[in-house]
Amino acid sequence: MSHSIAQIRDNTTRARHLMQRSRQQNFAVGAFNIDNQETLIAIARAAQKTNSPVLIEVSDGEVEAMGLENVRDLVDNYKEEYGVEMYINLDHSPTVEGCKKAIDAGYEFIHIDISQANHDASEEEIIAKTKEVVEYAMFTGALVESEPHYFGGSSNLHEEDIDYEEIKKTFSTPEGARAFVEATGIDTFAAAIGNLHGKYPVPKELDIELLKHIRSAIGCQISLHGGSGTPLHYFEEAAKVGVSKININSDMRFVFRTTLEKVLADNPKEYAVVKLMPTVYEAVQKVVEEKIAAFGSAGKAI
């Protein structure tokens, strides 16, 4: 069901207040990807159990699979059923058109990522298209997030080690962050400080000192993508520094698949798969609760 403009603006105002609270109270909000209803149930139950605000996010492929309006309706339904503070984030949208559609559908958070589709996109193109989304979002009040260059990795299980000497070449700088924020007017800057999309065989290492310098350089919110596979103490430190949003995907996907494989193997004669799914989303829920505890967002919902 489509939202009225008044409803959308009320939701985005609440979303903006959440980001303000996160800065004032030094916690980060978890942004958790979904590509099925079971994962959404797991996140909603974790949010209810911990009394934590959460963002449900969908990437371009997940939108294509589930439907932009369908995701809006599902989130609204579970938000009401579980009585939780829950918003939607469009994650890494590669086009201005996709962002505009999500804004029209009432998504409270919009991530425009031109370099996702074109890794060689110029800074001028990225800035121009990001500004277009920022201006369009003013009508509903949706918060816009972006970054000035391609962010590495993929939301999958990787077998290779992390080449940090190569990754450091793409780290954000305080000066670059300030210039990009001033040029675009974004609400949230996606920082690169060692965070990397996907789950790797070695733990990720975040440069917290660099994060502190970036925090001092810009006044808007800061997000961290690629949170899966990161030692939890980094999240605790990042939240204290002033990160407001942390994205999690691969950790949930890994637990979802491995748990499902085990449940299917243990029940070879059960063809009503829906009967097996509670074990799966209980496992995913534990992952979400673990992240919420590290982010410091438990008990912060309104």
pLDDT per position as a tens digit, 125-153:
999 999 999 999 999 999 999 998 766 55
In a domain, residue 45? The reply is: yes
pLDDT of residue 119: 79
pLDDT per position as a tens digit, 245-255:
999 998 999 99
pLDDT of residue 120: 85
pTM for the model: 0.93
For the chain, which residues score pLDDT lower than 70? 1, 150-164, 166, 197-203
pLDDT of residue 1: 59
Nearest Cα residue to 9 out of 17, 1, 82, 83: 17
In a domain, residue 218? The reply is: yes
CB 159, CB 202: distance < 8 Å? no
pLDDT of residue 151: 66
pLDDT of residue 135: 98
Which CATH number does the domain housing residue 144 bear? 3.20.20.70
In a domain, residue 113? The reply is: yes
In a domain, residue 117? The reply is: yes
In a domain, residue 129? The reply is: yes
Judged by phi (left if over 0) then psi (alpha if -120 to 50, else beta), residue 13 lies in alpha
DSSP code of residue 163: -
Into how many domains does the chain fold? 1
User: Is 163 among the residues known to form the active site?
Assistant: no
What are the phi and psi torsion angles at 89 (to 5°)?
-120, 125
In a domain, residue 225? The reply is: yes
- Rounded to whole angstroms, the Cα distance separating 210 from 158 reads 26
In a domain, residue 82? The reply is: yes
Catalytic residue among 10, 35, 60, 91, which? 91
Residue 38 is part of which domain span? 5-295
- Rounded to whole angstroms, the Cα distance separating 130 from 146 reads 7
In a domain, residue 76? The reply is: yes
